[in-house]
Amino acid sequence: MNRILELTIEIEKSVPEAAGVTLANTGNLSGNVAGVTTQIAQQIIYGNYTAVSAQSGATVSVSIDTGNKISLSQYLVQAGLPEDDAQELAELAASEKPESTSEPMGPKVKDWLLKNLKKAGAGTWKVGLAVATDVIKEGLLKYYGLK
């Protein structure tokens, strides 16, 4: 029951025009609004879930359980990091706490990132430099339960 209430409130906040939809008139919402509504429903019903889309049309679905090193590592591998680097980063994340709710990287993770981002720049990773930083930050936010 709580999830249904949370879903209704979140949809009403994020998609105000959804309040005007009736069963007889389902065509009021644009495709973008329908996508936002679906994403909200997925997040609330299925929990800690992220869908990442690339411009080329590729889609990666991610589920990272809070405090689960394996799911963090799998997410990083799916995003393009080599398995050994992903496991090493997940181990470091497990060994420390985030600096704040907006900055999920502790000192060990920051040091690791500075040392390893050159791999993204050199093409060793299957993800570019800017995307690698965003992907790692997103993964850590979910790992620490901050998002």
- Summarize the confidence of residues 87-115 as an average pLDDT: 90
Domain boundaries, the chain: 2-47, 65-143
- The mean pLDDT value of the chain amounts to 75
> Which residue do the tokens 């990442």 mark?
52
DSSP state of 48: S
Q: Nearest to residue 139, comparing CAs of 92, 20, 118, 7?
A: 92
Tell whether pTM > 0.75.
no
Residue 36 has pLDDT above 70, yes or no: no
